[in-house]
Copies of this chain bind each other. A is one copy, B any other.
């Protein structure tokens, strides 16, 4: 939620809608349709596409297949992304099996843990010793890493990932991780998500100053 690019998120939502429209047999779509489906103005839809040099047909809208393909390119979904997870605790294992991460273009190669008891190279997705992280990443040219290790090991783990050649990190610790400019860290702070929920329901009960969510009647 911090530093997240709102345009990219809209592109992903367009993609979702397009997939649903396609499954209904539709072939073309207008900026107006997409705008309605995700709750923005048609101008913004056109501007988003235009920004990424995706053009439609005056009077004819956009062809769904064509649009999907172009969005996939922009979103990086036309090449395979290799991924490792540091930390084979409950969260790491949960993410490893998370359905949303099973995708043609995402491959989870291994988990890593410092605890020898957890190491198991024979597991369907091997669990390897933490000290082999950097070499593994380098050898397999892994580009994405997920960090679910304890807070005090987070920065060290990130450093190793980056030395190995990882370009993007999804960080599940509440810590602010520092990386070189050429890399990206996105932090998912679950604690903050819960805090935020508590704030919102507290606000609703006490006075009108709490913010409204994405709820509807």
> Which residues of A come within 8 Å of B, CB atoms?
1-5, 7-9, 11-12, 51-52, 74-77, 79, 81, 89-91, 93-95, 97-98, 100-101, 105-106, 143-144, 167-170, 174, 176, 178-205, 209, 211-217
CB pair B198–A77 under 8 Å, yes or no, is: yes
Q: What B residues does A100 contact at CB under 8 A?
A: 174, 189-191, 194
Q: What B residues does A194 contact at CB under 8 A?
A: 100-101, 106, 144, 170
Known: A188-B190, A190-B98, A204-B167. A196 touches B8 (CB 8 A): yes
Main secondary structure of the interface of A (DSSP, over half): mixed
Q: What B residues does A76 contact at CB under 8 A?
A: 198-199, 201-203
Q: What B residues does A185 contact at CB under 8 A?
A: 213-215
